[in-house]
Structure formats: C-alpha cells, structure tokens
Amino acid sequence: MTVNSQVLDYIASEESFLDKSVIIKEGSMGDWMYVILEGRVKIKKQTSRGLLTIDTLSKGDFIGEMAMLKQGNKTRTASAVADGPVMLGLLDSVRLAKEWEAQPTRIKKLISNMIQNLEEATKKAADMIVESR
Amino acid sequence: MTKAKRKIPPVIKLNYSKGDLIIKEGDYGTSIYEVISGKVGIFVESGGTETRVAILGPGMIIGEMTFIAGSTSTRSASARALEDCCLEAWHPAMLLNAYKKMPDVLRLIAGQALKLIVRMNKIVVGLSLKEGQHKDSQTQELSDQWEEKRKFYRKRVSLECIFRPANSPKDLKIRGRIRDISKEGLQMTVKTSGLLNYTLIPGDELFISTYFVSDQKVNMTAKMTWLKKGETDGTISLGMAFTHMEPEDRKRLGFFLMP
C-alpha cells in the first residue's frame, strides 16, 4: 500500500519511533492523527489478561482516527505500538477538524457512527480473543 | 419523458415489528437507516449460523457500510428488529454528492474504518463459531425462528412511463403513469385519449420503460392481470405482473424498492 498524495499534503510533521515504543496509549486523551509512512504498527487493547494485539496496520493506514472523528470524548480506545522502526506523518488536525466540521450533518453522523461501530467491534473482538484462550 | 423522476425521494419513516428482517446480508441495497426508537441487532452469517455482532439503539445508523463501500457491493450483515422499532430511511442519492465532494483524506479514513470493522467482525464470528453454538447465546441457527418480513413492499409512486403492447410497432409510445410498484408488478393509469386505436385487454403483454431515480432507463415486460376504469374520467387503471426483466434492471428495481 502506498500513501495517497492528498494525504501527504496534510502532513504537518514527520515523527520516527523505535521498535516497541508506544505511539498512542489507550485511555489517554488526544485527537491528533497519524498516517503510517514506513513500517508497521500494532493495535493493542488492554484486557483482563493483559495487553492484547488485535490488529497490525501498515503503510498508508491511519492511526488515531477514532478519537478524531468520534463525537464527544477524545479518549484513545486502543494503544498503537511500533512493530519495528516506524516513520509516521502527523496530520494537520486543525485543517482536518475544520473540513470535518464543514460536512453535512448526515454525513458526519454516518461516519462517526461507523467509528463508534469500529470501537465496539474492536472491544468485542478483544473480549472474544480473551475468552477463547 | 420528463426528467422529473430524478427528484431524490424524501426521508421516510418505517415501522418494524420484533423479529422483522430489515436488511439481509448479501442483498443489494444502498439505503441508510437511522434508528429512531427500539433496538436493532446486527448479525453476520457464517457456516449456517448467525452471530450477533452489534445491538443498535436510537440515533445509530444501519447500512452505512454498503454506502461507504460503494453501490456494487452487497450488504455485509443482516439487521433485525429486536423489538418493535421505528427507523428513518435515507436514500443514498441524498448523501452521495456530499460524500463525493468530501476531501480524499476523510473518505480514506471512512474507508479504513470500514476495512477494520470487517476484520474485527471476522474475528468475532470466527471465535464464536469455535466456542460452540450451544454455549453462545448470541449465535443462533438460521431457522424460521425469525420471520422474514423485509419491506420489499409495494411502493406508492407517481412515475411517468411509456409503454407499448408487445405485438405493436417498435416506435409506438403510449404514455402512462405508474401508481405503485413492487418486485412482482405494478399498477398504472393511462389516459384513454392517449391509447390511439389500441385496445388493451387482460392477458396482453406490454413493454414498459421508466426512470427510477437517475438517468438510467429501466425496461420491464409485464402481463396485464386486470383492467378497470380509472378514478378520474377518461383514464383506465391497469394491473401488471412482470414476466421479464434484464438482471441489471431487476437490480435497479431492487434498489428502488429497498426502503
């Protein structure tokens, strides 16, 4: 997967992370968002049996979009941890938020609903993985 | 033929009873629903059983995944009324323009969310099947436990159409107005003055064409099942049952009828 050229235009700064470093911590506050420029990132969730990897994202994927597009609270719903050295692009959140706000109500409702579903599906998947072990 | 039919249908309210199937996995359909009251369960089918992946309540949206994925994809999950509920249906055309105009970044983010939901649901479904159906109350046999009552209903419309009897010259065009339409057939009114010298009797086969929401013309072949005097003078009302439709046109009709 490559990084869409339109997305590159939103990158405010580039940040590199070493293997296993925590990029986003579950439960913390924040609504900035990254796009993966190089490397892989593991998405982990805290469960009753410790930290569990539920997905691995790679080049071109976004991290942190859930908090950004969610209505209301900006708590991070999962942790993002570098899987090997990673280069990320921090997106211009002011510009993104402005463009997001300018969308018609129903479009916003539709997408934030999808983000909410993703949050629930992620939680459920994590629970199921724990139960099955 | 006027282009008035391109008007986007308004938002409509639909009521479902407990157990009704609202959306069926694998169907074509791009309508988006907002839950106004009641609870809706989202189910994914795998290996002959259904696993509930979500419960949605008021304010939540159903059917957005097919919309984001594009109209050529099928419904990725089924939705059923878990209790009596009221939904608001949005026609996708209402949102499509706005969605297309959205900055690429936002569209890509929505696309990623969709991809990840599908992945997460696969994990949930895969693991619930492994756990065994007896143990997990969220998984149930696909049986007649739920009543199949999708609202493929007879839709009231006022669509201009043109038609001609199957055995008439190809360039003949008679105007009519479709009053309601379902998967099985339609009812239309015709001004007798527009019939020229043609006499219509039940059993006749007609070629009918109309436009639903876009520029796409839909052709239907239907047999007349009944004919009666129209409600207004100088008109007749025809009941038609479809006998042939190209798959593409059938799909368009399906889209059109999906609330």
Tell me the ipTM for this assembly.
0.91
3-state SS, residue B98:
helix
**CATH second-level architecture of B155-257?**
Beta Barrel (2.40)
Considering only the beta carbons, identify the residue of B108, B110, B123 that sits closest to A129: B123
**CB-based contact (8 Å) between A133 and chain B?**
no
Report the CATH fold assignment for B4-141. Answer: Jelly Rolls (2.60.120)
Q: What is the pTM of this model?
A: 0.63
Considering only the beta carbons, identify the residue of B61, B113, B124 that sits closest to A128: B124
Q: What is the pLDDT of residue B166?
A: 87
Distance, in Å, from the CA atom of B220 to the CA atom of B243, rounded to the nearest integer, reads 8
CB B53 within 8 Å of CB B41: no
Helices A105-132 and B93-101 pack at an angle, to 10 degrees, of 90
Contacts of B163 (CB under 8 A, 6+ apart): B173, B174, B176, B188, B206, B207, B208, B209
**CB-based contact (8 Å) between A49 and chain B?**
no
Domain locations in chain B as residue ranges? 4-141, 155-257
Contacts of B195 (CB under 8 A, 6+ apart): B174
Q: What is the pLDDT of residue B10?
A: 67
Query: Which residue is it, tokens 């959306």?
Result: B23
Q: What is the pLDDT of residue A128?
A: 85
Query: Which residue is it, tokens 């993985």?
Result: A129
Rg (CA), chain B: 22
CATH code linked to domain A5-132: 2.60.120.10
| B117 to A118: CB separation less than 8 angstroms, yes or no | yes
Q: What is the pLDDT of residue B134?
A: 43
Distance of CA A113 to the CA centre of its chain: 16
List Cα–Cα distances, B155 to A51, B88, B89, in angstroms: 52, 16, 14
| A121 to B120: CB separation less than 8 angstroms, yes or no | yes
Q: What is the pLDDT of residue B8?
A: 58
Q: What is the pLDDT of residue B144?
A: 38
Distance of CA B172 to the CA centre of its chain: 31
| B61 to A96: CB separation less than 8 angstroms, yes or no | no
Chain A, nearest residue to B67 by Cα: A110
CB A68 within 8 Å of CB A119: no
Which positions in chain B touch A124 (Cβ < 8 Å)? Answer: 53-54, 120, 124
Q: Could you tell me the mean pLDDT of each successive run of 10 residues in chain B, 259 residues long?
A: 54 90 83 93 82 88 84 81 93 83 91 90 80 49 42 72 88 89 87 79 88 83 84 85 88 79
Rg (CA), chain A: 15
List Cα–Cα distances, B182 to B11, B185, B208, in angstroms: 19, 5, 14
Distance, in Å, from the CA atom of B45 to the CA atom of B49, rounded to the nearest integer, reads 6
Q: What is the pLDDT of residue B208?
A: 94
List Cα–Cα distances, B49 to B76, B132, B134, in angstroms: 15, 11, 11
| A121 to B109: CB separation less than 8 angstroms, yes or no | no
For testing the chain A interface, which of B105, B124, B131 should be mutated: the one with the most A CBs within 10 Å? B105
Q: What is the pLDDT of residue B233?
A: 82
Chain A, nearest residue to B105 by Cα: A7
CB A82 within 8 Å of CB A19: yes
Q: What is the pLDDT of residue B64?
A: 86
Chain A, nearest residue to B31 by Cα: A110
| A118 to B116: CB separation less than 8 angstroms, yes or no | yes
For testing the chain A interface, which of B44, B94, B95, B123 should be mutated: the one with the most A CBs within 10 Å? B123
What is the layout of strands, in order, in the sheet containing B12-16? B12-16, B85-90, B32-37, B61-62
| B61 to A110: CB separation less than 8 angstroms, yes or no | yes
Distance, in Å, from the CA atom of A115 to the CA atom of A28, rounded to the nearest integer, reads 18
Other C-beta atoms lying within 10 Å of the C-beta of residue B201: 8
Report B:55-114 residues touching A (Cβ under 8 A). Answer: 60-61, 64-65, 67-68, 90, 94-95, 98-99, 102-106, 108-110, 112-114
Considering only the beta carbons, identify the residue of A103, A114, A122 that sits closest to B120: A122
**CB-based contact (8 Å) between B119 and chain A?**
yes
Distance, in Å, from the CA atom of B17 to the CA atom of B20, rounded to the nearest integer, reads 6
- pLDDT tens over chain A, length 133 residues: 788 888 999 999 999 999 999 999 999 998 889 999 999 999 999 888 888 999 999 999 999 988 878 767 788 989 999 999 999 999 998 999 899 999 998 899 889 888 888 888 888 888 888 887 7
| B109 to A62: CB separation less than 8 angstroms, yes or no | yes
Handedness of CA B163, B168, B200, B193 (dihedral sign): positive
| B34 to A62: CB separation less than 8 angstroms, yes or no | no
**CB-based contact (8 Å) between A116 and chain B?**
yes
Token pair of B17 as six digits: 């009873």
Tell me the DSSP string of A97-127.
Answer: HHHHHTS-HHHHHHHHHHHHHHHHHHHHHHH
CB B74 within 8 Å of CB B26: yes
CB A13 within 8 Å of CB A35: no
Residue contacts between A and B (CB atoms, under 8 Å): 107
| A4 to B113: CB separation less than 8 angstroms, yes or no | no
**CB-based contact (8 Å) between A22 and chain B?**
no
Q: What is the pLDDT of residue A25?
A: 94
